[in-house]
Structure formats: structure tokens, C-alpha cells
Amino acid sequence: MDDGTEVQYGTNPNNPADFPVLDNDSDGVGNLTDNCPNIPNPSQKDTDGDGAGDACDGDDDNDTVADGQDNCSLTANTGQADVDSDNVGDVCDNCPNDVNPAQEDNEGDGLGDVCDPDDDNDGVNDFSAPAPPATQPFTLTNATSVVSTSLPVVSNSQAFVSVEKFFPSESRVVRLGYFDLKNRTFTLTPMSPADQTQVGWLALGMDVNGCNCFQILAGDTITIGSDTGEITAVFPVNAQNILNLLFVAADGSTYLQYIPSTGQLASLLQSSQVGGPLDNCQFVPNPLQEDLDGNGIGDACEAVSNLLGDINKDGIVDILDVILEVRMALKLDPVQPCSDINNDGIVDILDVILTVRMALGLDQLKQCI
């Protein structure tokens, strides 16, 4: 290093033991030892140990897939397998079989909220186990409409959902109509008089005609109107790639096959059943499930009202609070916080009157001190 540079950095050019430590990126790590000398990275993280820090390494896991295209940039996965198609590779996906691109993990246990049965680890499961899906087919004579669907609008005018009627005794299928995924219209298909009156099983087909322009996610639905009522069918992930018919069960679950001898559906693709809520604070630990006001939201996660006169803490002052105020004034119930409206040290008829006025909107609501 020339003397002028040493003088610039404040070191003695005549002392070989006194030399400047250059740090181009000002991250506290000198150039000689910095694994990214021109990009600040004080932690010097180097996932693959190749000597190039993650901050300046184009392939942090050395799996030959550049970070910008790698669905697990810090975990080697050359094959880029992604079963649930959420753009997070299976090897780093905290719910590899359930779509969760944001990878939310409330309690940080490595299991994503989407597939974690107890998101707050308080010993109370978030939801009850879902009921078994129905295996009996949904029967109909005619489809009348597509009521709604969560499937995306596509740009390809040749992408359809085909609505079919299957006759198991004949292993024969007739088209009832088709839903245009671009124009969002349902068109009925003419049938023979015999087929029009014959009862069959509802089935769906994906006629996308080579369109690689959309993706079906697990749980996407289509609701079809028919002569036997509406049915909401639930699609499996990537159903647009399934070439076979999807048989629709009486509860909307979808299947790939049926058993001729029993008339039941088999090879479940997607169940329509979901569990009911169990934990009244899904993301806040509360093993005792306290719920003072009995509204189904646990005390641990319920925003507690601090309004004067809001005795039941539901965020408003109304007739229920007036009743509670009367009971306290009559000494039928113990005095609750925020019930002494005029702050005179007792709960009496004056407080009841003031609570009535607030409930009627005659007086302004105030915060309880």
C-alpha cells in the first residue's frame, strides 16, 4: 500500500505493524476477510460454505438453481419439488402438502399454521377433526346453472369446466353443459329425450385444451344448480391437469373412481369437510379457554373494552349494560369495574340513568379511568 493511502487512513507509513484495515462496504469486516467485500453483511452468513457470503452469492445453497429462481434458496433442492404448488419447495416448506406461500408459523415450532393442529401450543387443538367425506354420489337429471366459482378468470377462450352426467350401469357419460372460464358463462348441451329424463351421477371434467394459463388450488370450488338442488364441488390442487372425470359426492367432495358393486365413490381427491373451531383463541395460548362473556372469543385474545358503562365489555353501551347496572344498584350483583358512572364511590340510580343516556346516544361515551 502506498504511503499516501496510509496517511489518508491515519496510519504510519514508516511502521510496518501499523497499517489501515480497509472496509469498502463499511460493515465492520475488513476487505481481507469479508466474504462480500463490496456488499454490507456484518453477519458473514455463508449457507453453503463456499466462501461467498449469501449477500453476494447467486446460488446460496449450491444446488445449481440461481436464487432468483430457486424455491428454496437456502436449502439445496435441484429438482425443485413442490407438491402443493405454493412456490415454496418441499424441502423448506413448513406445510409441504398444504398451500401456504407466506409460511406463517405463529409459535415458531417449524410447523406452519395451515397444517399445525395447535397454532399456539396451548394443548387445545384449533379445530375439531373433520367428518369423513361422503362417498355416495350426487345425483341429478339436469344441470341448470353455475351459481358461483372460485376458479380464476383465464385468458384462453378454450378453457372450460365440463359438467357431466354419468350412468354407472352403462359406464356412459353425457355432457350437461360447460362453464367458460374466460367469459364466465354456462352453456347447456342438448341431450336425447332419454338422457334428459334419466338420473345419473354428477361429474366434472377439465377441458383446458393445453392452456397453461391458470392453476387450481386445493379447496377451489364451483357451485352448480340442478333439478335436485345446488351442490358445491371442491377441487383438488392442480385439478386442471387431471384428465379423468372428477366424481362429485353428495357433500361436494371429489373422487377419481367408483366401485360398481356398491355404487360408492373411491380414491378421494379432495374432501369438502372441515373441522369446527375448538380453540377460542387460535393464536394466543389459553389452555383454560376462559370466556367471561360467553361470546365464543377467549378472554386472552378478545379486545377488552374500557368504555365507562360497558359492563359486559362487548365494546358498546346498550340495554344489556343498563340491566347489569340496575342489578348492581339493587345489590343483586357485585360491583364491576367502570360501573360508577358519576365517580361518586357508589353504584346507584344516578349511574343507571347515566348508563341509559349513553345507551340511547344522548351522552358521549367516555373511557373508564
pLDDT in tens, 75-113: 999 999 998 889 999 999 999 988 889 999 988 889 998
Using pLDDT thresholds of 50, 70 and 90, give the confidence band for residue 236.
Answer: very high
Is pLDDT at 1 greater than 60 in this prediction?
no
Max mean pLDDT among 6-20, 143-157, 222-236 falls in: 222-236
**Residue 204 to residue 137: CA distance in whole angstroms:** 12
| Domain total of the chain | 2
Using pLDDT thresholds of 50, 70 and 90, give the confidence band for residue 8.
Answer: low
Query: How many of the other CB atoms lie within 10 Å of CB of 366?
Result: 14
Rounded to two decimals, the pTM is 0.55
Report the CATH number at residue 356: 1.10.1330.10
Q: Does residue 79 form part of some domain?
A: no
For 111, residues 6+ apart whose C-beta sits below 8 A from its C-beta are 94, 95, 105
Q: Are 356 and 308 within one domain? A: yes
Average pLDDT, the chain: 89
- 176 contacts 112 by C-beta, under 8 angstroms: no
DSSP line for 307-360: BTT-TT-SSS--HHHHHHHHHHHTTSSPPPTT--TT-SSS--HHHHHHHHHHHT
Q: Are 150 and 206 within one domain? A: yes
Q: Does residue 342 form part of some domain?
A: yes
Q: Does residue 208 form part of some domain?
A: yes
Q: Are 144 and 210 within one domain? A: yes
Q: Point out the domain boundary residue: 218, 249, 270.
A: 270
Q: Are 195 and 256 within one domain? A: yes
Mean pLDDT of 12-25: 69
Give the range of the structural domain holding residue 187, as residue numbers without chain letter. Answer: 139-270
Per DSSP, the three-state class of 359 is helix
Q: Does residue 40 form part of some domain?
A: no
Q: Does residue 237 form part of some domain?
A: yes
Q: Are 209 and 316 within one domain? A: no
Per DSSP, the three-state class of 160 is strand
**Residue 361 to residue 342: CA distance in whole angstroms:** 17
* pLDDT more than 90, % of the chain: 53
For the record, the C-alpha cell of 223 comes out as: 357451485
Residues 264-297 pLDDT 10s: 999 999 999 988 888 888 888 889 998 887 888 8
How far are the Cα atoms of 41, 188, 191, 243, 277 from residue 164, in angstroms, in the given order? 59, 11, 11, 14, 35
